[in-house]
Structure formats: C-alpha cells, structure tokens
Amino acid sequence: MKFLLDENVSSLFIDKIKRKYPGSVDIFDIGYDGKDDSEIYEFLMQQKYILITFDLDFTDIRKFPPEFVEGIIVLRFKNKKVQDLITAALNYLEELKKVDFNHSSAIFQNSGIRIRNRLKVLK
C-alpha cells in the first residue's frame, strides 16, 4: 500500500505514514497543494495511490467513484488528540489489509471503519 496524503492531514501523521509505508507521498511532494479535488482525483486515476484526507467531498461516490482509483480514505475522528488519531488510523490501516479494499472508499471514525464502493458495503 502506498498513500497520497492530502494537505489537510497533520505533518506528524504524514511522517509516520511515509516511514511505515515507503513510496507514500503528500500533496506538497507532487506539487498539488491548493489544487481542486477533481485534479487530485485525476492524479489518483493515473497513479497507484490511496488517498488519505479529511475532505468530506471525497465521500461522494457519484463525483469521486472509488472503483477508478486504488482507494479513498476519509478521516472523520471526533474529539481525538492528534496522537490518538494517528494511533487509531494506523490500526485501521492494518485492518484494511485483511479485507478486499481495492477500488473502495473508507471512512475512519471513532466507532470503526466503514468501507464501500458501488458494488459492496462492508462494516
């Protein structure tokens, strides 16, 4: 797994992901900071990255269908300190390895992971 981390993700989280998942990059690495969501989605369609973002726009599977990209993960943790958020997200990433996540979207939240694409919904 390799990830593209959106500009709204904490630099501490970005550093941990880059160390744990070699080949992962952030928006600044590829010069896409400030770019429109549709441009980021176009990049994802051409490359083999899973997006990690806080941007709820990416939960709209009509506008950003997950089946055309490696995957989309939206972070929706509430009332968590940064370190606790990082720990939970890293644990959830390990859980994703156990399921068929290819070409799906996931929402990471306090209560767990929701995974879906147009063909399936997993809880």
Q: What is the pLDDT of residues 38-85, one digit of tens each?
A: 999 999 999 999 999 999 999 998 999 999 999 999 999 998 898 999
CATH number of the domain where residue 13 is located: 3.40.50
Q: How many domains does the chain have?
A: 1
Higher pLDDT, 82 or 25: 25
Residues in contact with 122: Cβ distance below 8 Å, sequence separation at least 6, in sequence order = 99, 114, 115, 116
State which residues form the domain around 76: 3-122
Which DSSP category does 119 fall into?
S
* pLDDT score at 117: 64
Query: pTM value?
Result: 0.92
CB–CB of 65/99 below 8 Å?
no
Nearest to 44 by CA among 72, 18, 9: 72
Q: What is the pLDDT of residue 100?
A: 82
